Amino acid sequence: MLEIAEFISPTPSPVWKLALQAGVNLAVGGLPFDSLRPGERLGDLAPLTRMKQSYEDAGFELRVIEARPPLNKAKRGLDGRDEEIDVVCTLLESMGKLGIPVWCYEWMTDFNWVRTNMATPSRGGSVVTSFNAADVPENLTSNPPISEEELWTNLEYFLKRVLPVAERAGVKLSMHPDDPPITPIRGVSRIMRTVDNYQRLVEIARSPMNTITLCQGNFTLMTDDLPSVIRKFGKTISFVHFRDVRGVPTQFEETWHDAGKTDMLACMKAYRDIGFDGVLRPDHVPTVEGDSNDNAGYSAFGRLYAIGYIRGLHEAVYAESQPS
């Protein structure tokens, strides 16, 4: 059955206590970037073991790692990519030994998610992030343009290397969509931006470890019928970001969970119907009164509303499937 998790950074923060107080003890974690000892790499077993233990000491079970070692050389097919991929292979082996079943990665070259306003006014004076393609700055990257087919070629090379390791380790590779799902951005192409392209990803390698992070905020910009896409990909979905937006791929804003374009109840029913048995976490919440917008989209207090909203939908939908 679907379970609710929260992103818990490896460094203790107020969210550690707030999540537990809201009844969430499943963690989506990062990587120990700031606690490596001399001679250690991010994927090594020792630092990952220490990180997992710190989560457990705080009362969390680590279910997903949603952070990546450097991968831009691999994405661009540059010299040094094999060394980057070696670190990923070590990470997957370490995750397998520690029983962490899902690694969320992405194929966004040079820069990750892009927003052009980090404090767009929303309900009741809260603020959200937003995007307008016309306002994207020129200096996002100093690298040359790259084509979509180059990205596909480099992704296939990457998967050929890492999927056998993932299969032996029992760790699912879970591809996050491009955010925003448009191409190109300042000359840099993006490929994980359409439902058809996700189907191509699945068909590159028919493996139970080649899976999808269904980030609703991105996928709902790719389709007018998100529940049908959830049903289409079914068991290929290994991890869910439960969030919503309002707008179109070239101009949109994040929303409160009950105020976007998506039928969230229908999505929850779709996860139930496909037998999704991974974790779902809220993502990109509004910043509310009394909280800081320093980490826009990930403020502490806004998560509490999201968790409560998701828990209510979850209990209502899954109660329908229980015998009376």
Catalytic residue flag (residue 309):
no
Catalytic residue among 55, 215, 291, 314: 215
Catalytic residue among 178, 198, 241, 291: 241
Catalytic residue flag (residue 257):
no
Catalytic residue among 105, 271, 298, 305: 298
Catalytic residue among 267, 283, 305, 314: 283
* Cα dist from 51 to 41, 43, 45, 48, 72, whole Å: 13, 12, 10, 5, 25
Torsions phi, psi of 250, nearest 5?
-85, -10
How distant is the alpha carbon of residue 149 from its chain centre?
23
Q: How far apart are the first and last CA of the chain?
A: 18
Q: Read off the tokens for 16.
A: 């550690």
Alpha-carbon distance of 308 to 315, in angstroms, equals 11
Alpha helix locations (H) across the chain?
14-21, 45-57, 72-76, 81-98, 148-169, 195-204, 216-219, 226-233, 264-273, 300-320
Catalytic residue flag (residue 283):
yes
Alpha-carbon distance of 190 to 133, in angstroms, equals 14
Catalytic residue among 104, 178, 179, 284: 284
Catalytic residue among 176, 178, 267, 271: 176
Alpha-carbon distance of 45 to 91, in angstroms, equals 8
Cis peptide before 184 (omega within 30 of 0): yes
- How many other C-beta atoms can be found within 10 angstroms of the C-beta atom of residue 34? 8
Q: Of 81, 87, 221, nearest to 156 (Cα)?
A: 81
What single-letter DSSP state applies at residue 177? P
What burial class does residue 294 get, using C-beta atoms within 10 Å of its C-beta: 0-12 exposed, 13-18 middle, 19+ buried?
Answer: exposed
Contact 300, 291 (CB under 8 A): yes
Q: Which residues are catalytic?
A: 176, 215, 241, 283-284, 298
